[in-house]
Structures are given as structure tokens and as C-alpha cells.
């Protein structure tokens, strides 16, 4: 096994210099919880490993002009505890809180979750619902911003160039008139990989008792987390009541069927998503708790 | 490559492979075999150590990622005055059977109590969710941590954790 060369940039300028040497066989090391396990268990090493842990300026959460900016090296534990994230992007705090164990949340990062491109990445599902953009820097120092959904193009595949590093994710901060949550189903209650996940964002018109601006992201359905426009339109302007919950759950089943037609997991996921939809709807606290009518 | 590592309060100057995991350096180069390797994939938590006050699976980080930080292993828990309170409570409650998971359990619990000296029982269970005990001794382990947390200490400013359903705990 060839020995990887390791670079440990201590800031953005040193990072761009390191990125200039990256090849398609090189890897960026963020928290490392997926990459190090993979290297150790599958007995491989990249030609070049660029450790981002010394680039401290990529670890932050800011709120400016109504936009929440999250540095790529922000850990899940930091996201979970951050007051700005809790207030303006609750679904992201909830998703971060449900990743792995405390040990993993202490080191795993939001940038790593995106670049690893697992279809069941919890924070990616939340960020897709939040309509996040991703900012990157490359070896030439060029800074670019594009929608998150253009980065995570498939299972384990991204549109990131070998010399391109994620520096920030950003999205519009949700106001007090918004409700948002994240829900997932795994094989156990904690320290579990999502078999199905959902992030839901709605704007509540208290006077009219209706919802609008509905954004729903589904994760672990197909190759990458996605939003479904037909599902979102279904709820637009609907009253915040039990009938809308039923419509939402039905719409989720249809969205899953559209996303993974013929997939072996479809019979399970099209039903499981009903329970998940009700969990998410109830967590928003829009109306009295409602339950699906199974059968 | 050359690496300066602070472990249990002592500075070590080491020559390490660039991709050596923290657990490898702790066990094989420093002889700290209280750090146990179970699953090698972040499921069992037997390798848990504390890095800058945070519990970390030492099988999932490289040694170089701990440069400039303070690493605490189970060997560093006791001091000249004897065992750490948590260790004494583990003994008192019989929270040890085969003992393989114990160092990891202790370090996860220590990190929790460093951040939140008086956690709720649910917070204790969440903090230990990444530590598996195959002798199924969880009840006594949680009781031991709770006993240790009932000692008077200053309150913490750490915000409450979110549980699996996103609720504050």
C-alpha cells in the first residue's frame, strides 16, 4: 500500500496551495469519520491527503442580511448547540443531533457530510429543504457558489473538482413565522443510519390558519436527497389541519414512487414514508396531533 | 512524520506514519492499551478518548488531527489522590463485567460530566449511546454515572442536547 502524503494547511492560503497539488486520487480530510474508516478497513490510501482541521476559519456560524452562513468545518455537535441554527434552521440542528454518536458528532462536519455524498446524509436532507447554496474554493483561489443539489449528483458522487474544497453552506434564515423539523427512520432509535429521512419547512399564516412556502426534502430515497415540486404544491395555501396531514402523507407516497420506481425498497419506503410524514407534520405543532389511518 | 502530541498531560515527540490513526499511536507507540479497539468503525465506542474536552472515537481520527490538542485516555483519569470519582462509582455500582467497554464508557461519561456536571438520565443515556456493552450492563453503568453527577459542582452553560426526536433533553 503506497503511503499517502499528508498536507496540513494552517489557513485558507495554505489550503489553496495544497489544492494545487490535488489529483483525482487525492482526498480532503474533514472530520474523517467516513474516510478514515474506509481507508483502514478497505486497505487503501489516497496519493495526497489534505487535512482541513488546521483551517480554523472554516468553523463558524454567522447571520448576515437574513442569510445563515455555516463554515464547512462546523461539527454536528456545534450545529446542534448553535443558537442561530436552532432559531433559524431548527431542522438542521435536529438533523445534526441525530447523526451517529456523541463521539462522531464531535468531529464529523457539515462539509464532510456533503462531500461524502451518502444518499442518507442527515444534514444534507435538511440543507436541501433549506435551499442551501454551497461555496467552494479551488487551487487557483477561485471562489464559486452553486446549489447544494448540483454538488451531490449521486451516491458517493459529487460535482466537486479534485482541487475544489467546500468552504461554506448558506441559506435564508427562517423567521418566527416558519416551522421546520427533521425526521428519520433507522434500524434503531439512536446511532443509526437513515433508511428514510425527511426535512420539512413551512410558513404558517396564523390569522388564516394556512401554510405556504412548503419545502420538503426526502433523503435515503434514491441516489441523493431531493425536493419534489408536485408534493410541495399540494400543500400550498392549505389549512393547517388533519386533512392536510393526510394529503401530505399521500403526496409523500407518490413522491417516493416517482423517485424510485421498481426499486426493491419501494414497497417498504412508500408505506414507511406515511409514518414519517405524520411524525414530521406533528412535530411542527400546526394542529392537534393526528395519526394515519392505516389500511 | 514528526508529531507533537499531548497525552495525559505529557508532551510526546513522535515519529508517526501520516495516516496512523490516533488509536494506533496511543496503543502501539505510547503503550496506552486501556484504549480498546472493538469495531474499528465508530459503532462500539471502546476506543473513546477525550480530545480537548470532547469524546472522540480514536479509531476514526488520525493522530495528526490531535496535534496541538490535549488527549486524555483512561490511564489519565486517576491522579496521585487515587481513582477518579467516576471510576469509584463504576466499582461501587458493579458497572464492570468483562471490562472491555469500560475505558470507553468512562471517557464518554467523563466528557459528559465535564460539559454538564448534572445531566438528566436521558442525557446520560444519549452520551453513552455510542458505547456498546455486550455484557448488557447498561443499568449499572447509567446508575454509576448518575451517582458521580450527584456530587456538587458549578452549573454549566452548555445548551441542552436534542434527543432522537429533536426535543430538548
* Nearest CB to B40; choose among A41, A93, A103: A41
Angle (nearest 5°) at CA B59 between B57 and B62: 100
* pLDDT, position A107: 98
Q: Is B157 on the interface with A (CB under 8 A)?
A: no
Assess if residue B164 is contained within a domain: no
Q: What is the pLDDT of residues A103-139, one digit of tens each?
A: 999 999 999 999 999 999 999 999 999 999 999 999 9
What is the mean pLDDT of the segment spanning A42-65?
A: 97
Angle between helices B102-115 and B138-149 (to 10 degrees): 30
Average per-residue pLDDT for chain B: 92
Verify that B44 and B9 share a domain, yes or no. Answer: yes
Spell out a b/e string for B153-167, using b for 16 or more CB atoms within 10 Å of the CB, else e. eeeeeeeebbbbebe
Assess if residue B58 is contained within a domain: yes
**B166, B167, B168, B169: which to substitute to probe chain A, counting the most A Cβ within 10 Å?**
B166
Q: Which CATH class is domain A56-172?
A: alpha beta
Q: Which residues of B touch A45 (CB under 8 A)?
A: 19
Q: Looking at residue B26, what DSSP letter applies?
A: I
* Nearest CB to B42; choose among A51, A77, A103: A103
Task: Name the minimum distance, in Å, from the CA of B41 to any CA of chain A.
Answer: 6
Q: How far is CA A128 from CA A216, A270, B9, B126, in A?
A: 8, 20, 43, 27
Q: In the CATH scheme, what is the code of domain A5-51?
A: 3.30.43
Cβ proximity of B61 and A108 under 8 Å: no
Asked if B57 and A104 come within 8 Å (Cβ–Cβ), the reply is yes
What is the mean pLDDT of the segment spanning B36-47?
A: 97
Verify that B119 and B140 share a domain, yes or no. Answer: yes
Give the confidence band of A2 by pLDDT, cuts at 50, 70, 90.
low
Residue A290 C-alpha cell reads as 393526528
pTM (predicted TM-score): 0.94
CA–CA distance, A227 with B151 (Å, rounded to integer): 49
Residue extents of the structural domains in chain A: 5-51, 56-172, 178-284
CATH assignment at residue B43: 3.10.20.30
Q: Using CB atoms within 10 A of its CB, is residue B70 exposed (0-12), middle (13-18) or buried (19+)?
A: middle
Task: Name the minimum distance, in Å, from the CA of B36 to any CA of chain A.
Answer: 15
pLDDT over 90 (residue B154): no
Query: With the C-alpha atoms ordered B137, B143, B146, B148, is the resulting torsion angle positive or negative?
Result: negative
CA–CA distance, A108 with A120 (Å, rounded to integer): 15
pLDDT over 90 (residue B116): yes
Assess if residue B162 is contained within a domain: no
Asked if A102 and B55 come within 8 Å (Cβ–Cβ), the reply is yes
Report the share of chain B in percent with pLDDT over 70. Answer: 90
Q: Which of B76, B104, B137 is the last residue of a domain?
A: B76
User: A55-69, A77-91, A181-195 — which is least confidently predicted?
Assistant: A181-195
Cβ proximity of A86 and A112 under 8 Å: no
Q: Looking at residue A208, what DSSP letter applies?
A: T
Give the number of domains in chain B.
2
What fold characterizes domain A178-284? Enolase-like; domain 1 (3.30.390)
Give the confidence band of A191 by pLDDT, cuts at 50, 70, 90.
confident
Cβ proximity of B113 and B150 under 8 Å: no
ipTM surpasses 0.85? yes
* Nearest CB to B55; choose among A39, A98, A103: A103
Asked if A41 and B54 come within 8 Å (Cβ–Cβ), the reply is no
Q: Which of B53, B76, B99 is the last residue of a domain?
A: B76
Place of cell 515527540: B13
* pLDDT, position B156: 44
Q: Which residues of B touch A102 (CB under 8 A)?
A: 55, 108, 111-112, 126-127, 129-130
What is the mean pLDDT of the segment spanning B34-47?
A: 97
Nearest CA to A249 out of A216, A209, A286, A220 is that of A216
Segments forming the whole domain that contains residue B109: 85-149
pLDDT over 80 (residue A71): yes
Q: Which residues of B touch A275 (CB under 8 A)?
A: none
Q: Which of B14, B45, B76 is the last residue of a domain?
A: B76
* Nearest CB to B19; choose among A39, A94, A190: A39
Asked if A80 and B162 come within 8 Å (Cβ–Cβ), the reply is yes
With DSSP H G I counted as helix, E B as strand and the rest as coil, what are the percentages for chain B, rounded to 5?
Answer: 35, 15, 50
Q: Which residues of B touch A36 (CB under 8 A)?
A: 21, 59-62
Assess if residue B161 is contained within a domain: no
Q: What is the pLDDT of residues A202-221, one digit of tens each?
A: 999 999 999 999 999 999 99
Amino acid at each position: 500500500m503506497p503511503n499517502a502524503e499528508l498536507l496540513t494547511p494552517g489557513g485558507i492560503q495554505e489550503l489553496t496551495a495544497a489544492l494545487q497539488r490535488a489529483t483525482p486520487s487525492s482526498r480532503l480530510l474533514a472530520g474523517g469519520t467516513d474516510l478514515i474508516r474506509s481507508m483502514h478497513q478497505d486497505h487503501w490510501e489516497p496519493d495526497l491527503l489534505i487535512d482541513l482541521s488546521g483551517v480554523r476559519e472554516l468553523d463558524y456560524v454567522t447571520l448576515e442580511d437574513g442569510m445563515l452562513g455555516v463554515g464547512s468545518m462546523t461539527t454536528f455537535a456545534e450545529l446542534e448547540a448553535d443558537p442561530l441554527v436552532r432559531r433559524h434552521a431548527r431542522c438542521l440542528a435536529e438533523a445534526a443531533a441525530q447523526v451517529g454518536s456523541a463521539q462522531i458528532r464531535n468531529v464529523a462536519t457539515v462539509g464532510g457530510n456533503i462531500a461524502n455524498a451518502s444518499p442518507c446524509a442527515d444534514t444534507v436532507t435538511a440543507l436541501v429543504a433549506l435551499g442551501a447554496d454551497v461555496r467552494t474554493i479551488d487551487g487557483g483561489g477561485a471562489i464559486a457558489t452553486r446549489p447544494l443539489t448540483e454538488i451531490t449528483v449521486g451516491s458517493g458522487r459529487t460535482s466537486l473538482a479534485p482541487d475544489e474544497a467546500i468552504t461554506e453552506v448558506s441559506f435564508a434564515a427562517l423567521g418566527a413565522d416558519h416551522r421546520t423539523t427533521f425526521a428519520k427512520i433507522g434500524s434503531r432509535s439512536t446511532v443509526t443510519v437513515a433508511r428514510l429521512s425527511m426535512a420539512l419547512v413551512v410558513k404558517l399564516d396564523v390569522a388564516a390558519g394556512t401554510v405556504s412556502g412548503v419545502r420538503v426534502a426526502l433523503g435515503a430515497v434514491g441516489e441523493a436527497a431531493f425536493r419534489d415540486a408536485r408534493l410541495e404544491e399540494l400543500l400550498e395555501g392549505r389549512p393547517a389541519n388533519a386533512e392536510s396531514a393526510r394529503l401530505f402523507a399521500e403526496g409523500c407516497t407518490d413522491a417516493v414512487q416517482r423517485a424510485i420506481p421498481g426499486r426493491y425498497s419501494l414497497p417498504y419506503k412508500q408505506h414507511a414514508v406515511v409514518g414519517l410524514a405524520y411524525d414530521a407534520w406533528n412535530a411542527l405543532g400546526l394542529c392537534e396531533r393526528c395519526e394515519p389511518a392505516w389500511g | 512524520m514528526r508529531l507533537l502530541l499531548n497525552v495525559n498531560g505529557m508532551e510526546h515527540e513522535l515519529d508517526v506514519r501520516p495516516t496512523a490513526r490516533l488509536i494506533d499511536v496511543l496503543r502501539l507507540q505510547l503503550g496506552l492499551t486501556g484504549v480498546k479497539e472493538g469495531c474499528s468503525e465508530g459503532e462500539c465506542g471502546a476506543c473513546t478518548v477525550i480530545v480537548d474536552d470532547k469524546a472522540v472515537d480514536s479509531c476514526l481520527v488520525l493522530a495528526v488531527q490531535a496535534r496541538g490538542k490535549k488527549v486524555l485516555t483512561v490511564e489519565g483519569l486517576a491522579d496521585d489522590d487515587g481513582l477518579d470519582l467516576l471510576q469509584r462509582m463504576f466499582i461501587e455500582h458493579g458497572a464492570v463485567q468483562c471490562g472491555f467497554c469500560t475505558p470507553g464508557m468512562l471517557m464518554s461519561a467523563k466528557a459528559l460530566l465535564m460539559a454538564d456536571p448534572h445531566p438528566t438520565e436521558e442525557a446520560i443515556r444519549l452520551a453513552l449511546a455510542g458505547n456498546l456493552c455486550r455484557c448488557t450492563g447498561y443499568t449499572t453503568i447509567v446508575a454509576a454515572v448518575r451517582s458521580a453527577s450527584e456530587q456538587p459542582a458549578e452549573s454549566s452553560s452548555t445548551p441542552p442536547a436534542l434527543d432522537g426526536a429533536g426535543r430538548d433533553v
